[in-house]
Amino acid sequence: MVCKSNDQTVKELERLQAILDSVSSAVFEISAEGDIIFANQAAMHMFGYPLSEFKQMCFSDLVPDKYKQGHQKHIHQFFKANRVGEPFTALLKNTQKILVTINISASHNSQQNSVIATISESLTLKSAQDDLDRSNERLKVAKEAAQIGVWELNVKTGQLIWDSQMFLLYGREPSKFSDTVSEWNNALHPDDREITLKKFELTINEKTKFDTTFRIITPDKQVRYMRAYGHPLMDNNGQVFKVIGANYDLTENFIVQENLKESLKNNRILAKVAEETDNAIVLTDEKGKITWVNKEFIRVSGYQLHDVKGFSPGSILQGKDTDPHVVRDIRTALSNKQGFTAELLNYHKNGTPYWLRDKDIPIIALTANAMKGDDIKCLDAGMNDYLAKPFLSGQLAEILHKWVFLDRRQ
């Protein structure tokens, strides 16, 4: 028997090391306990660790936390049978994750039970992952733009998972989130809780889509309107084990709708006030042309709307004996935003003259903004009342009602 000298053994080891360092794939020797015994240069380049650090690590350190249990199980199986081309999610030193394939074969090391793992970055998986990452980025941008929150509920355990947008929608801190369905239950508005939970229960029992609207109360006591969709997932027994869904905020839409309802209601009030008053009311456009008249105007003047629409009030109502000085005084008072009392001769449609006695016609100030002290300035300038823009039509209706019916109250 020929024994190899120490020099020959060293040379063979150096030759083997050179061969292993020349290959492009990462090569590891892993003990039965999962400890890293050896790593070649490609492994150091791929994962970012020097050999000295590798020798202080377990193979599970190269696996993201959520995959560790599964891969640890596979390592023990690898000692019993070789694995070829197994897909693998690897964790680099810089915390980046890459998709690789791993080949496992038993080591012929007589000193300890171990395996040889050869790891290569999968170009096919990488390309698919890149496409998926791009799709996820587009989806993320779309979700953020639409302010859509995504949630997932494990029906059996009650675990609730929210993405970052859900926390923003519900006004909650992720650090204080208990990951249980009670978080959602407690956020529901008391008046909506029972019916919303019944609808969700129906989704689970009947395996139907969850599609509803409800209100929530945030920790700072804001009331928000939410639209929710949910899709049930079934297990092998046909039972719902998980529901994945989305929420988005409808609060702004509801506010617009409520304001519209209020505006329509107030417009009806305004129209009623204008129609029922015994004062003649004329509305004009910005050029002073008539756009609308009430019943009292029609009764007093004899003109229907179609007779006067598009004309100035003076061109219709004033005639040869109308005092131009009184007309001038009225225009001056209006221009100076001052109240006035005047008697003006007007003419009926049939040509009959009649006196219009305007008793202290009120002037309402409609200002573009509401700075402090504006109301006092307006009243000091001779205005009878003051209303800042923007305002609801109901507010204008109240002021008109106040001044139009002033004579009746007095």
Q: What is the pLDDT of residues 129-172, one digit of tens each?
A: 566 666 666 656 555 655 788 899 999 888 999 988 899 999 99
Q: Does residue 311 carry a pLDDT above 50? A: yes
Between β-strands 364-367 and 385-388, what pairing exists: parallel, antiparallel or unpaired? Answer: parallel
Which DSSP string do the residues of 139-202 spell out, in sequence order?
Answer: HHHHHHHHTEEEEEEETTT-BEEE-HHHHHHHT--GGG---BTHHHHHHB-HHHHHHHHHHHHH
What pLDDT does 269 receive? 60
pTM beyond 0.75: the answer is no
What pLDDT does 187 receive? 93
Question: Side by side, which strands form the sheet with 36-39?
Answer: 36-39, 26-31, 114-121, 97-106, 83-91
Q: Does residue 363 carry a pLDDT above 50? A: no
Query: Band of the pLDDT at 4, cuts 50, 70, 90?
Result: low
What pLDDT does 305 receive? 87
Measured CA to CA, the distance from residue 49 to residue 82 in angstroms comes to 26
Please give the average per-residue pLDDT across 53-70, as a whole number: 78
Percent of the chain with pLDDT over 70: 62
Q: Does residue 48 carry a pLDDT above 90? A: yes
Measured CA to CA, the distance from residue 98 to residue 126 in angstroms comes to 8
Question: What tens digit of pLDDT does each residue of 226-284 get?
Answer: 999 999 998 888 889 999 989 988 888 787 777 767 666 666 666 666 666 677 777 66
Counting beta carbons within 10 angstroms of the beta carbon of residue 160, is it exposed (0 to 12), middle (13 to 18) or buried (19 or more)? buried
Cα→Cα distances 52→32, 40, 118, 176, 323, Å: 20, 12, 19, 40, 109
* Mean pLDDT across the chain: 76
Q: Does residue 392 carry a pLDDT above 70? A: no
Q: Does residue 83 carry a pLDDT above 80? A: no
What pLDDT does 10 receive? 64
